[in-house]
Amino acid sequence: MNYPDSVHFLYALGNEIQTAKFGLERIRATLEALGRPQDRLRFIHVAGTNGKGSVCAMIESALRAEGLRTGLFTSPHLAEPTERIRIAGRPVEAGQFAGAFNRVHRGAEKLLTAGAIDFHPTYFETVTAMAMLIFAEEGVDRVVLEVGLGGRLDATNVVTPELCVITPVDFDHEAFLGKSLESIAREKAGILKAGVPAVFAEQRPEAAGVLEDRAAALGIAVTRTTNWRTRELEMDARGSRFVLTNGSSLHIHCGLAGEHQVSNAVTAAVALLRLGTSHHAIEAGIAAAEWPGRLERVRVHPEIILDGAHNPAGARALAAYIDRFYAGRCVRLIYGAMRDKAIAEMSGLLFPRAQQVVVTAPKQARAFSPEAMREVSDHPNLSTAPTIESALELVRDASPTDVIFITGSLFLVAEARAILTNEGAL
């Protein structure tokens, strides 16, 4: 299959969340048939609820600044599935993506015919196997590997990494991971392995207890970011600067916006120190890291900021960002989310901070109906729009001093980004 055909087939496998089939049997059998490419690679494995993508981006950028040839595997993508598999900071070419897909697909068909697996590997399992193939064939020095969902039974959990990193654990995907922080933390802790050191970001007490107990049971060495201190912190709407100290000092400039990115930068820096990365590479890599769609400003007059705040923790971070940097400004909010999200909680955090709310829906079958939002929110200036294009029309009268936030789902952010990064749109 060519690239469009391979993407069509992947999408036909079904939504990554709805069609998740937990268990490692299929991915293990698939990788075994492909010659176990993961065994030729060195990994940093990153799990958590929020911040894991940003932490991965910072770690990968710093390893590249150290002179290493890197692989980066993240999800979801914004524009093209090729974004999920990056070599030396760049998405793989469409032809390479399609070639890896064909090899994985052929292997899966043979396994199905032989009765060795029960189903074709899922979208996420297929792309995970493709990434392992590509990284091994490219001979990368290190792979920064982001967990997709949970950890214990996630398709990425077939590797034995050099380091495990767990970012803050919070509520998300409760239908799959459990309805308590303890149960969610147990799933995230499933990436921990005997003999593999770990870095833990600061955690809520319920999650911290679970992670610490698992680490103790495995007898692994844990480095905790809470043992480090930040001083001389300066923040603005575009990023932060601070000094990170624990005996030695790092001068960090983080170009990712939001107070939460300070803690993400600390987590990345501590993980990199645990890997033996030089101070210069850590500082340069974190400064150069990019993570689109997360408090990303794409227009200036008026400001338009995209943020994939798709769960309560993300909504809290966005609310804090608005309070800190946009108090007193006219805030307009375009919001669209998936039905399985904590919509009442997230809208309760975000809508009161906006003078105008436009509720729309990403072009996804799981999207929450904009009209149903009137039963959830009593915001006095709430309107609905069927698409992001029509939602943007409803904020076209914004003055140059207003700020427009587009949030609620990375699917919506991706659609908006495709429009707004084209010159002349809006």
Show me where the domains of the chain are located: 3-288, 296-420
* DSSP, res 31: H
Tokens of 276: 């033996």
Taking residue 2's Cβ as centre, other Cβ atoms within 10 Å add up to 13
Mean pLDDT of 258-270: 97
Mean pLDDT of 319-340: 95
* DSSP, res 225: G
Q: How far apart are CA 81 and CA 306, in angstroms?
A: 20
Confidence at residue 284, expressed as pLDDT on a 0 to 100 scale: 98
Per-residue pLDDT band at 144 (split at 50, 70, 90): very high
Contacts of range 372-381, beta carbons closer than 8 Å, 24 or more positions apart: 373/335, 373/343, 373/347, 376/343, 376/344, 376/347, 377/347, 377/348, 377/351, 379/351, 379/352, 379/354, 381/355, 381/356, 381/357
Confidence at residue 174, expressed as pLDDT on a 0 to 100 scale: 63
21 burial (CB, 10 Å; 0-12 / 13-18 / 19+) is middle
Confidence at residue 20, expressed as pLDDT on a 0 to 100 scale: 56
- Global pTM? 0.94
CATH architecture of 3-288: 3-Layer(aba) Sandwich (3.40)
Per-residue pLDDT band at 132 (split at 50, 70, 90): very high
Confidence at residue 287, expressed as pLDDT on a 0 to 100 scale: 98
State the average pLDDT for the chain. Answer: 94
Per-residue pLDDT band at 21 (split at 50, 70, 90): low
Tokens of 138: 């490219």
Confidence at residue 376, expressed as pLDDT on a 0 to 100 scale: 92
CATH topology of domain 296-420: Protein-Tyrosine Phosphatase; Chain A (3.90.190)
Per-residue pLDDT band at 15 (split at 50, 70, 90): low
Mean pLDDT of 177-186: 89
Mean pLDDT of 269-289: 98
Per-residue pLDDT band at 102 (split at 50, 70, 90): very high
Beta bridge partners of 251: 243
Per-residue pLDDT band at 425 (split at 50, 70, 90): low
Least confident range from 177-181, 189-193, 363-367: namely 177-181
